[in-house]
Amino acid sequence: MNDYPDTSFLCAVYREQDNSPVADAYRDQMTAPLCVSTLLVFEFRQAIRLQVWLNGQDKKKGYSQREADQMLTDWESDIAAGHVAIVPTDADAVLRMAEHLSDTHTALTGNRTLDILHISTAKHLSAKNFLSFDARQKKLAKAAGLKTPL
């Protein structure tokens, strides 16, 4: 596997936003399916649900249920077509690696739990590139030996 994304990359692919042109261009040049873990699938879907809730609280925030439904339809279509592959991971191995990254970096860089877990998953799956638009997460990915081409 060459590439492992985070939720910021997935959101940029499945909903038009500032980073979408970069995400789309990168995605278009990929020849292999985009591999994701069940943890990332959960976080992506949860992020969409949260945005719908935010929109329900204030129409200037988040996005509509219609937009969310379209994102999830496109997502499921890409899985069915083989453009996205959900790959198994060894949760214990990922957590051991996450503990190491947390121990060696969090006090210095302030990384969040899910960010560390995604980077650990990418390492566990032997990804070479970590696809993210989150500056702090990209910094940790580089420290963990991953390339951040975006």
CA distances from 137 to 10, 15, 105 (A): 15, 21, 11
pLDDT digits (tens, 9 = 90+) for 30-54: 999 999 999 999 999 999 999 999 9
Three-state SS at 127 = coil
Place of tokens 């292999």: 32
What CATH superfamily is the domain 3-143?
Answer: 5'-nuclease (3.40.50.1010)
Q: What is the pLDDT of residues 104-149, one digit of tens each?
A: 999 988 999 999 999 999 999 999 999 999 999 999 999 999 999 9
List the one residue out of 59, 79, 65 whose CA is nearest residue 10.
Answer: 79
Burial profile 63-87: b = 16 or more Cβ within 10 angstroms, e = fewer: beeebbeebeeebeebbeeeebeee
The predicted-structure confidence for 95-110, as pLDDT tens digits, reads as follows: 999 999 999 999 988 9
CA-based nearest residue to 36, from 127, 135, 137: 127
- Are residues 127 and 3 in contact, defined by beta-carbon separation less than 8 angstroms? yes
Domain locations in the chain as residue ranges: 3-143
Q: How many residues in the chain?
A: 150
Integer angstrom CA distances of residue 131 from 2, 59, 114, 140: 10, 30, 15, 12
